[in-house]
Amino acid sequence: MRNRADAPIGVFDSGVGGLTVARQIVAAMPHEEIVYFGDCLRAPYGDRGPEQLADFSRQIVDFLTAKGVKALVVACGTISARIFETVAQMTDVPIIGMVKPGVDAALTATKTGRIGVLATAGTVASGAHKAAISAKRPDANVFAVACPLFVPLVEEGWFDGDVADLVAKKYVSALENSGADAVLLGCTHYPLLACAIEKALPPGVAVIDPAIALADSLKGILAEQNLLREDGEKPTHQFYISGGKEKFDGILKMIFGQKYEAKIVKI
Q: Catalytic annotation on 76? A: yes
The residues in 220-249 that bind a second copy, with binding defined as CB under 8 A, are 243-244
Contact region for a second copy (CB under 8 A) — 30-38, 126-134, 154-162, 205-213?
154-162
Q: Is 156 in the site for a second copy (CB under 8 A)?
A: yes
How far apart, in Å, do the first and last CA atoms of the chain sit?
27
Q: Is 266 in the site for a second copy (CB under 8 A)?
A: no
The residues in 82-101 that bind a second copy, with binding defined as CB under 8 A, are none
Contact region for a second copy (CB under 8 A) — 1-9, 46-54, 100-108, 193-201?
46-54
In the complex, least distance from residue 97 CB atom to a second copy, rounded to whole angstroms: 24
Q: Which of 187, 185, 212 is nearest to 197 (CA)?
A: 185
Count of residues of this chain found to bind a second copy when the rule CB under 8 A is applied: 21
According to DSSP, the β-strands at 263-264 and 238-241 are: parallel
Contact region for a second copy (CB under 8 A) — 36-44, 89-97, 130-138, 191-199?
36-44
- Three-state SS string over the chain comes to CCCHHHCCEEEEECCCCCHHHHHHHHHHCCCCCEEEEECCCCCCCCCCCHHHHHHHHHHHHHHHHHCCCCEEEECCHHHHHHHHHHHHCCCCCCEECCHHHHHHHHHHHCCCCEEEEEECHHHHHHCHHHHHHHHHCCCCEEEEEECCCHHHHHHHCCCCCHHHHHHHHHHHHHHCCCCCCEEEECCCCHHHHHHHHHHHCCCCCEEECHHHHHHHHHHHHHHHCCCCCCCCCCCCCEEEECCCHHHHHHHHHHHHCCCCCCEECCC
Q: Is 267 in the site for a second copy (CB under 8 A)?
A: no
Among 60, 117, 145, 167, binds a second copy (CB under 8 A): 167
**How far out from the chain centre does Cα 251 lie?**
15
Choose the catalytic residue: 40, 147, 187, 195.
187
Q: Is 158 in the site for a second copy (CB under 8 A)?
A: yes
In the complex, least distance from residue 229 CB atom to a second copy, rounded to whole angstroms: 36
* Cα–Cα distance for residue pair 191/211, rounded to 1 Å: 9
Among 32, 33, 39, 155, binds a second copy (CB under 8 A): 155
Q: Is 148 in the site for a second copy (CB under 8 A)?
A: yes
Contact region for a second copy (CB under 8 A) — 78-86, 144-152, 196-204, 251-259?
144-152
Among 149, 194, 221, 255, binds a second copy (CB under 8 A): 149
* Cα–Cα distance for residue pair 238/34, rounded to 1 Å: 6
Q: Catalytic annotation on 40? A: no
In the complex, least distance from residue 77 CB atom to a second copy, rounded to whole angstroms: 17
Among 40, 103, 201, 214, binds a second copy (CB under 8 A): 40
- Provide the annotated active-site residues: 76, 187
- Which residues bind to a second copy, rule: CB under 8 A? 40-41, 43, 47-49, 148-149, 151-153, 155-156, 158, 162-163, 166-167, 170, 243-244
